[in-house]
Every structure is written in C-alpha cells, then in structure tokens.
A and B are shown apart, each in its own frame.
Chain A
C-alpha cells in the first residue's frame, strides 16, 4: 500500500515535471529575411510548426505525417505538430480569440484554408502579408490564373500559398449502375431521383458540409446558365435565382433518402450510406475520384467517380500563416515544401491517401526528371477517377464568398425547415 502511494506521488511529480518542461520548449522567435530564403531555413531549424488542418480523414492525416512530417525532420530539423480540427473555422476562431486576448505569439503556425475562412482572417488583418510569392517554389505556381489569385472571389494578395486543387464530383457503384444510366445534369438528376425514390441524398449545406454547399452552387449555375456573373456578389442576381434553387430542392425532397427529413452532415456520413447501399450516389472532391476512399476501405472497390456535363465547381486550397504565429520561418519552409514537385507528384497518387490535384502548374517545371514524375503520377489516377477530359470540360470556378452563407442559411430556412 505504501509502495503504491509512493509510486503515485512520484508519478504525479514526474507528470507535472513533464508539463513544466513541455511549456519551456516554446520556440523563441528567430529573425529572418523573407527575401533571403537561406535565412528563413536557418531560422526554422529546430522549430516546431503547429499545422492546424481538417482532421476528418485518416488517410490524409497519415499522408501528412508520413510525407511532410518525415521530410521536415530529416531535411530541415523541423518538427511537425499536426493539430487536427473538426472544421477549419475552429482554427480561425482560435486566431480570432488570440487577437482579442492580445496573445502574441499565439499557437497556430499554419492553417489549411480557403474560401470564407480565408476571407474572415484577411478582412481582420490577421494573416502574414505578402509572403507566398517569396517562396522559391512559388515560380511553379501560375499566379496569373484567376482561379489561383482569387479565392472564392477574394484577392489572395500572396497572403496564402496554394497546396492542391479539387473539383466537385459524384460517385456511383459500377456494380449497381451502368455509366450510360447516370444523370448528367441537375435536371436529369431530378428525373432520376423521382424515378428512384429514397435512393439519393446530398450533404446538408452548412459548416463542415461545404461539399453540400458546392452541390447547391452548381445548381445555381445551371439554372442561371451563366457562371461569370457569380464571381462578384450581386444581390439582384441572388434574389432572381435563389427561389429556383429552393424550388428544386423542395421538389426532390419527398423522393430523397428518409423523405429529406434529415441529411448527412458531412462527406463521411454520405460515404457510409452509399457503401451500405442505402443510397446510390456519394460526393467527392478528390482528383482520384473514389480511389483514395477505396484505399481507406470507406466505399466498395467497384465505386467510380463521374461528373455532370457542366457546372462542376473546382478550386484551389491553400495554407495561410497567422500574423501571431510562433514559428513563422518553419511555417514558410513547410508551405514551400508543399509546392515541391516531389510532393506534388505524391499527393495525387491514390495509394498515398491524399488524392487531391496539383497546386502547381506542371508546365512550369523545368527539371525533366521532376516533370516525368509529375506526368507519370497524373497518368496513375486509377480506374476510380473521373476521366481528366470530363473533369476539364465541366470545370467552373466557385462563386464569390458572400454566397456561401446565403446558400447555407437559405437552404436551412427554405428547404430543411420548410413544411
């Protein structure tokens, strides 16, 4: 008994000692010059970079740890601390509340970000300004592409650096359906849903369900027939087309899974419904289509991705550095590593578990060995991917960021809660 007590007391002391030691390892800010890359790398040496990113996909977590975590340690002596968040807005709120509390340095070094989260932080002047074009690998990024230099309509102004690209797609099971029977537009989808009651649902548009929001925006594009006008916010356009959107969703509602009384809240729930044959379609944004999901064991091996003939929204996603980041140099090194051709080639391969597209323009890669690697990788997307020509044909950009919350709130009010 005494021994046990003595042991426990010792354990307490040890644990609290660990705690104190843990607090002391906070890296002190080291000076660097953003225009002198060697000084950035030198300042980053020995730092720990706290990378806040959506942690809902185990295969992405695994890819991040085993590829970037390893390379950072071995090449730059940087420790990667991947902080999984349920929704990127959690990381944004962390930075916002640090700002309110006047906490500098904070805890967040790098955030996987885009869209309204980027707009929020940029508007509040909480992001490190003008750095993305200073990264050595920034020369591989096509900054002239409006899909890259504007994020949901918000000018990027080099306050975030691209990582990868994604495009909205649907998934079907080739063991259950034939490609020629697939709907190829929102109008055809409506017919299909009415003929197959209970076999379709979509992700509820809202926080954590951005794929559902994107699905709704694609419908707006189809109803208006004009993509360009959605690039800047215009209340008149919204007032004209949003009633059509609510009508569309309310028309199919009685024919949805569970009569539209409830909706899957994120991609994983929809994959599960699809895998267990409760519904016949799922949704993905990965360039490898269903490939990474098959690897993860989330969907059957016969799952395949497809797109409508038009209005499949694609975009780039980025990483941003908060102004009060404790290890800015290490965050810069990591952002540069993300654009490295070696890792860009690795991220598209389905077996590595990430499965999103290139963030760089591979035509800008001059090293022939690297170029070959990237080209080979883009050939190996697997059978479960949508054919690249279909993707390219249907590709459209996202709307201005303001429509995001309008779609989400409107859907809730006029579709979910409508009688």
Chain B
C-alpha cells in the first residue's frame, strides 16, 4: 500500500517535470493551435527548420554556451580559495566575509545591473563580452562559494599533510589530492554557475546593451512576438544544453558520491 502510493507519487512527479517539455514539443511543431482544439490540428516543421538555419540563433547558442562556460570556470577559480578559507577556517570577521559574499543575492539584480552599467560605461566595458562575463560573476559567485564551502567544511586537510610528509610538491598535492577529493563538489558548483549564467537576461541586456545577443535575449524577443510555435521552438533549444549537461554529470556525480561515502 505504502509502496503503491510512492509509485503514484513518483509518476505524478515525473509528470509535472515532463509536462512542460511535452507541451513545448507539441507547440514547436504545430500550426495555428488555438482554443478550443484539444490537440494541434495541423503540423509544420517550418519554424524549427527556419530557427536552426538562422545564423542569429546559432550564434546566440554558441555565445550563451561560451559565456556560461567561462563564467563557471572563472567563478570556480575565484570561489575556490574563498570557499576553502570560509569552509575550513574559523577566524575573526568570518561572518562579515560571508555577508559580503552573499550581498549580491539579497540586493535586487536590477540595482546591481544599473550600478554596474554606469561603472562599465566609464571603463568602456559595457557592450563587450568581457563586461557581460564580469557581470554574470556577480550572481554566480555566491552560489559557487556556498556550495564549495560546504564541501570544504567536511574536507579533511590531513590527506594533504600526509602527501606533504611523503614528499609531494604543493602543486602535485593540489592536483592529485585536493582536486580529486573535492571534484564532485566542484562539478556541482560549476553546474550552478553554468545554470545561473545560462538563464541571465537582465544583466546581459543591461551590460551587453543589445550588442551581445544571447539565447535568453532571443527568447524574450520571440515571446514579445507572440507566435507560440517560435516561442516553443526556441524554448526547446534553450532547455536542451542544461538538460544534457545535468543528465551527463548526474550519473557521474552519483558514482563519485558513492566512492566518497565509502571512504568515510
């Protein structure tokens, strides 16, 4: 009985997760699907074909992927030392450091964006890819630091000391001990950064000034265009990379998670 309801709950959960995607699939290939027709009455592949052949879409896709990858890499690079210190050391002013790192998640992004835009305009960074990447670091860094510091609070530094005693160089210890141990955490933190950067609209618009056309910008303009087929087609394209990345890394994470747990 208990098992049965668990199964039903599980199906229900999957249903909720998959339903929007199914709807997008239906809309992306349907033509003039209006109320009160329960199912599409005519099918078309024109919009999807046109979208895939549109250089704007492909360049938007690659720019988005490029920005999100760079942002996740940079936020790991910057977040790593901060997270390690905050996660494994107790020191005066730790709370204040936490507060400063978390401010961007509390302050509305519009305020941050407007302020940054004025600063970047003076520095000549607005409208550039560099500026957009820097701006994306603002909302991504807190999440990277938070995730990684959790990893470091459970991290046993004695492994490093042991390697040091055995005569390893600092660099070698970093790559063979530290990185290996926190690797699953790194992946999760990187994933967070990727997803947050991937879905940025406001900051890209403010800092990019319409010159940096990412996928969310194209999606917003399609939504204002009001054609449900185009909106659905672009949405599918927008959803695809994160889903693929999560699917690929989830399997990987579960395996690593198990091995880590076995160690303790």
Contacts and interface: CB of A to CB of B under 8 A. Distances in A.
A8 B70 contact: yes
A259 B50 CA distance: 40
Given A1-B179, A269-B226, A297-B31, A62 B50 contact: yes
A120 interface: no
Which of B66, B130, B227 has the most chain A CB atoms closer than 10 A to its own CB?
B227
A271 B36 CA distance: 15
Contacts of A275: 32, 34
Secondary structure at chain B's binding surface: helix, strand, loop or mixed? helix
Contacts of B221: 55-56, 84, 86
A83 interface: yes
A33 B69 CA distance: 49
Given A1-B175, A1-B179, A11-B66, A268 B224 contact: yes
Contacts of A18: 129
A396 B194 CA distance: 55
B69 A11 contact: yes
B225 A16 contact: no
A217 B3 CA distance: 67
Given A55-B221, A56-B225, A300 B34 contact: yes
B210 interface: yes
Interface string B190-204: 000000000000000
Contact of A297 (B50, B179, B224, B227): B227
Given A55-B221, A84-B221, A19 B130 contact: yes
A204 to B, nearest CB: 15
Interface string A150-174: 0000000000000000000000000
Contact of A56 (B35, B128, B130, B224): B224
Contacts of B32: 275, 297, 299-301
B222 A58 contact: yes
B175 A298 contact: no
A296 B227 contact: yes
A229 interface: no
Contact of B70 (A12, A86, A296): A12
Nearest to B55: A65
A75 interface: no
A196 interface: no
B229 to A, nearest CB: 6
Contacts of A57: 225
A137 interface: no
Contacts of B130: 16, 19
Interface of B: 31-32, 34-36, 44, 50, 66, 69-70, 73, 128-130, 175, 179, 210, 221-222, 224-227, 229-230
Given A56-B225, A275-B32, 16 more contacts: A1-B179, A8-B70, A16-B130, A19-B129, A56-B224, A58-B222, A58-B225, A58-B227, A58-B230, A268-B225, A269-B226, A271-B226, A297-B227, A299-B32, A300-B34, A301-B32
